Structure 1
Amino acid sequence: MKSTCYLELILYLVCNNINLKALIMTLDGQDSIMLMYLLSFINIINQENIFIVHFNHQWRKDSKINVNYCCFYSQFIIEDEDLARKWRYKALLNLANNINYNKIYTAHTINDRLETLIYNLCKGTGLDGYISSIAPLSFNKQKINIIRPLFNFYRIEIYWLCRKLYIPLWTDNTNCSYNKSRNKIRNELFPYLRNFINPKLDVEMAKFLSIICYETEYLQLKACFFFKLLLNHKRMAIEKVMFTLLHPSLKRRIIQLLLLKLGVKSFDLSLIDYISSQSNTMNKTLKINDNICFFIGLNWIYVIRNKKPDNITIIM
């Protein structure tokens, strides 16, 4: 690792984050400690209003002595990793909205990106799930940016920097617990792949991830363009003829955007694929949930709210 990385981080933070209020989400690892250390200098240079938020999941018996003050303390042990993540971001968004902060800093590294990719693929959410996990968030129409200054650095580089700057570290033994899926990926899967498949696994996967992110983002932008083009707000319908001519990937994303616009936040990919496959039919009604149906007409795919037609194809 080059010794100039510390200056690069400082310059990045100074040049891109001037005079903006910011929250720092911290846990107990070395990455969070390094992020706080770096931003302490930014606070001096730019006079930013920096608010440090620490989360205690109660995963360790000694977790209370990590900090003198804990802003968010879970009332019960959250074992599920996805629920813990939702709890953290929900609390951060509420806090940012209440105190009018528009930026949240996290200490995610390249290794976290790779682990998230494998974790999402194993869950079946795919690359779209990964992209959504790193996208900007919004709360009550207020755009809140997620800033990840360490996103292009490896965990070993952060450890080197902590040693170089004599920053004391707290060993988080929950990283060794195999009750967490991410720990299995980090401590079992990746070392195996490095030893028997490719010693430069992290570098090659980071390159692959960068390419995939750009291509996925391009597809999403295309889907947004066609969604605005095909959607008739007065009829609340999608123009059918052009929709059927699109690539299946774009059709799937347009349906996703339509469901999100209708307030359907949780849906199965098989549901979206089924709707896309039925777009060439006529006079067919597809039930999405108890309040929303799609009616496939001659030239339009209509959204029907609070209707209960007799002939409904219920998608299981």
Structure 2
Amino acid sequence: MQTFIKTSNQIIEYQLQLKNFYKQSECRQVVAISGGQDSICLLNLIENFQHKYQNTKNKNNISYIYIDHQWRQDSYEQTVHIINYIRFINRKIYVYQLPKNLLSEKLCRTYRYHLFTKHAIQHNSRFIVTGHNETDKIETFLNNFFRGSGLQGTTSLIRQSKINRHTHLLRPLLKLKRSDIYWACKKLYLPIWSDNTNYKYQFERNRTRYELIPYLKKYFNKNIESNINLLLKNCYRDNEYIKQSTIKLYLTIKHPLYIAINHNKLRKQNFTLQIKTIQLFCVYNLNINLEHQKIVKTLIDINTNQVHKYFIIKLDHLKMHINNQWIYITL
């Protein structure tokens, strides 16, 4: 019972955070569900809270979205099961299908978040809610770590993030372990749909979940999950500090009128800040996310060339011009 109380408190805390938005205006939410234990538990707790505290102004502010990957033979049956359950609780559900030949985890994840964002914008939803838990955060960290991601990649799974000016991504269950959520689902007899793809080792996340983490717990440290969580908290704080320092530096060195930055001032800063500032410059002005190695090579060229020398660095279909003071880009 203590586990369920802990789980319920997380949802109540999440809903109370949105109360200010409810007072200001109608705050629409779209909740991403999959039929698994995480999303069904999230659905149940949100509905219980809404039933207790809803009013006429916001009773229709929640809808659900389901992405059918078409990976399994029972995909159609699972979709029907979820639609029937959402109809039973008198809510709206939107179902999207991904192409059948999409078997890459990374590509499917990209498709999913694009669909979530597009749907939220079209339906004027301010919040996208997902059922990610603490175990998902650890698995994401390990997968990104093996890919060579930096601080931003390894700490990307956080409780609240901003997608654009009006849309937020919320993960209210991020402090709960998968085992706690499983216990709550069993206690409440929730209609979970068992997904056999969660046990196929051809997927990297499943190998991390069932082989790597148990191996680390058995042979290295039984508290490995708690230690990784502590590491992620520290990394997140460091990453936030670097972000703020990058923004301050960019605002200091950018040209007051033109799309350009002062490389003489940039070169005096730490190399990590130089990299982050170039990334911010390209993303903010050109909506281009340059590869890390290209940015490093560009900065090496800038730092090693004579200050008075003018030169050009080619970046795909762009040209980065460097004169004696400024960096600017032309098509």
TM-score by length of 2: 0.86
- Name the CA shift for 1:234/1:289 in 2 (closer, same or farther; >3 Å): farther
What residue in structure 2 maps to residue 311 of structure 1? none
Matched, 1:153 2:176: yes
**1:214-225 to 2 correspondence within 5 Å?**
214-225=237-248
Q: How does 1:2-151 map to 2 (within 5 A)?
A: 2-18=3-19, 19=22, 20-44=27-51, 45-46=53-54, 47=59, 49-68=61-80, 69=83, 71-132=95-156, 134=158, 135-138=161-164, 142-151=165-174
- 1:6/1:190 CA distance change after superposition, 3 Å: closer
2:319 corresponds to 1:293: yes
Bigger Cα displacement from structure 2, 7-16 vs 188-197: 7-16
Could you say what secondary structure the match of 2:176 adopts?
coil
Farther-moved stretch of structure 1 (260-269 vs 279-288): 260-269
Residue 314 of structure 1 is matched in structure 2 by none
Q: Is the 8 A contact 2:152 2:239 kept in 1?
A: yes
On the 8 A contact 2:275/2:295 being kept in 1, the answer is yes
Q: Relative contact order: is structure 1 or structure 2 higher (C-alpha 8 Å, sep ≥ 6)?
A: 2
1:3 deviates by 4.6
Q: Which 5+ residue runs of structure 1 have no aligned equivalent?
A: 307-316
- What is the rounded CA distance, in whole Å, between the counterparts of 1:132 and 1:239 in structure 2? 30
Q: Given that residues 43 and 49 in structure 1 are in contact (C-alpha distance below 8 angstroms), is that contact kept between their aligned partners in structure 2?
A: no
Tell me which residue corresponds to 2:90.
none
- Do 1:21 and 1:101's aligned partners in 2 also have CA atoms closer than 8 Å? yes
Is 1:305 the counterpart of 2:330? The answer is: yes
- Measured at CA, do residues 106 and 3 of structure 1 come closer, stay the same or move farther in structure 2, by a change above 3 Å? closer
TM-superposed deviation, 1:276: 1.7
Which whole-Å CA distance do the structure 2 matches of 1:90 and 1:219 have between them?
27
Which sections of structure 2, spanning at least 5 residues, go unmatched? 84-93
SS at match of 2:201: coil
The Cα offsets for residues 158-195 of structure 1, whole Å up to 9 and x where unpaired, read as: 11111222323222111111111111111111111011
SS of residue matched to 2:175: coil
Task: Check 1:236–1:265 CA distance in 2 against 1; reply closer, same or farther (3 A cut).
Answer: closer
* Higher deviation after alignment, 40-49 or 146-155: 40-49
Alpha carbon RMSD of aligned pairs, Å? 1.8
1:246 to 256, 265, 269: 269
Q: TM-score, normalised by structure 1?
A: 0.89
Q: How many residues align?
A: 301
